[in-house]
Amino acid sequence: MTSRLDHALIALRQILRATEISSRALAKQCGLTPSQLILMEVIAKVGAATPTVLAREVSLSQATVSALLDKLEQRGFVQRKPDAKDRRRVSVVLTEEGVSILENAPSILQQRFEHGFDKLQDWEQSFLVAGLERTVMLLDAEELDAAPVLDVGVIGNTSEG
């Protein structure tokens, strides 16, 4: 292998390992997946919101958001409340326990990436995105469904903790 190829493969492996380590640390510290934490952060930011609004905000399918909400509701972190005017509509809010978990949750890898990415100049952001998109093409992974969430495994997996 060439030296550049070695460096590229090492960088890919470091990204994969960082994602896995961050996910495990989050699960160990507060029992959440990155997807669940991000969803809770959005609920905290927007207040009571319908699952449709939440799905749009986190760029996940409604089915995935419903599966994540089911897990969060089972653990007592969120509550679904029927709309007073239209009982078919449901809004999701954080419970007191959900707020507490959110306040004590560690910074996740995605937040660190977003913070660092925002500090890059426009040309650097474009260059990085182009390189990552090209990497996806090299791996023949263009058809894989992916959400803008740094998480390992299937995001909508109902066996997530």
3-state secondary structure string, the chain?
A: CCHHHHHHHHHHHHHHHHHHHHHHHHHHHHCCCHHHHHHHHHHHHHCCECHHHHHHHHCCCHHHHHHHHHHHHHCCCEEEEECCCCCCCEEEEECHHHHHHHHHCCCCHHHHHHHHHHHCCHHHHHHHHHHHHHHHHHCCCCCCCCCCCCCCCCCCCCCCC
pLDDT at 158: 39
Return per-residue pLDDT of the chain as tens, 161 residues.
Answer: 679 999 999 999 999 999 898 888 888 888 898 889 999 999 999 988 999 999 998 888 899 999 999 999 999 999 999 877 777 889 999 999 999 998 888 877 888 899 999 999 999 999 999 999 999 999 999 888 777 777 765 555 434 44
User: All domains of the chain, ordered by start, with CATH?
Assistant: 3-138 (1.10.10.10)
pLDDT at 83: 78
